[in-house]
Amino acid sequence: MSGAASRLAPHALLQDRAVAAYLGLAIGDALGATVEFMSTREIESEYGVHERMVGGGWLKLKPGQVTDDTTMALALGESILNSGGIDARSIAEAFDAWMRAKPVDIGNTVRRGLLAFRSTGVPAVPLSEHDAGNGAAMRVLPVALATLGQSEQGVREACRIQAHVTHHHPLSDAATECLALMVQAAVQGADLAQLLHRYAYPLAGEHPAFVFRTKQRRSNPSGYIVETVQAVFQALFDSDSFRGCLVDAVNRGGDADTTGAIAGMLAGALYGTAAIPGAWLKALDPAIRLACARQALALVAMSGMAEPAPAKV
Ligand code: MG
Ligand code: MG
């Protein structure tokens, strides 16, 4: 490898993993949505192991169709690209426009926060014990990519700005920041053990509610951020492939589109596009696939960590 090529390689790796994180988010969402709100037992009796992009579910989706987890992340990414940064008002307006366009589903805390923004004009909700849902964590990916190369403190602050538009709770904040930092590390080449020791264990050390290395398998995770993180971390750290991680996550049932989306984001960032099963990629809504790939590259370019990709990519 020439000197020039070896210097370019980390950028190519970073771009590939950023795209894979976005595609993973969307694929996990679409795969999990089929079994959202089903119990592990119900999934077993209907599918054996659920591992195909077949759509359906309580939202009656087309195969490969995504839900709010992906479309909110794309709305957030558009806001970041259009405003040139992480701006609370721009984000709130983007989410409000997203809600007005009648998304296929919407979380209660998101709806409450956006209705508050409409009536007060303030793009941040106050601290609330009711805001520990997973809605801020599920959409954090564009912030993670746009803030690559910034200080950890800067990344954490950016995460909280986007989170507090609808969710303001210490456990939501801690998880959202941790997931963003994990994505950043993974797209820059960190391996599974490094993610475990540098981020997942410290999160559980600081907030013991998140402890995930227990004998109890976290099945049927609710929308509570603690249960989401436990299910995702168990799936991620007890598997060694993109496919294995996602199949494990979504077959736990419960809020399966969201655990699938977050697990897919992390596994994509970790394993790259080559690890994504072709059948899943092919089944993903083509417009979403394109939007995810474009946005990932644009956000990485915005961070200054890699040159804009050639137009043909
Ligand atoms: Mg959803
Ligand atoms: Mg969900």
The amino acid at 270: L
All residues at 6 or more sequence positions from 58 whose CB lies less than 8 Å from its CB, including other chains: 36, 37
CA of 261 to the centre of ligand 2 (A): 9
pLDDT mean over 161-182: 98
pLDDT tens string 288-313: 999 999 999 999 999 998 765 554 43
Please give the distance, rounded to the nearest whole angstrom, from the Cα atom of residue 11 to the centre of ligand 1.
31
Q: What is the pLDDT of residues 234-266, one digit of tens each?
A: 999 999 999 999 999 999 999 999 999 999 999
CA of 306 to the centre of ligand 1 (A): 31
- Residue 2, pLDDT > 50, answer no
Cα-to-centroid distance, 55 and ligand 1 (Å): 13
Token pair listed for 236: 């991620």
Comparing C-alpha atoms, which of 133, 196, 198, 197 is closest to residue 168? 133
Q: pLDDT averaged over the chain? A: 95
Task: Specify the pLDDT at position 182.
Answer: 98
Please give the pLDDT value at position 298. Answer: 97
Per-residue pLDDT at 7 exceeds 50: no
Cα(149) to centroid(ligand 2), Å? 30
Distance 128 CA to ligand 2 centre (A): 21
Which domains, ranges and CATH numbers included, belong to the chain?
10-47+61-303 (1.10.4080.10)
Mean pLDDT of 58-71: 98
For the CA of 36, the nearest ligand: 2
C-alpha closest to that of 142 among 36, 18, 260: 18
Task: Tell me how far CA of residue 64 lies from CA of 75, 157, 282, in angstroms.
Answer: 19, 34, 9
Which ligand is closest to the CA of 65, given by its number? Answer: 1
Q: How many angstroms separate the alpha carbon of residue 69 from the centre of ligand 2? A: 7
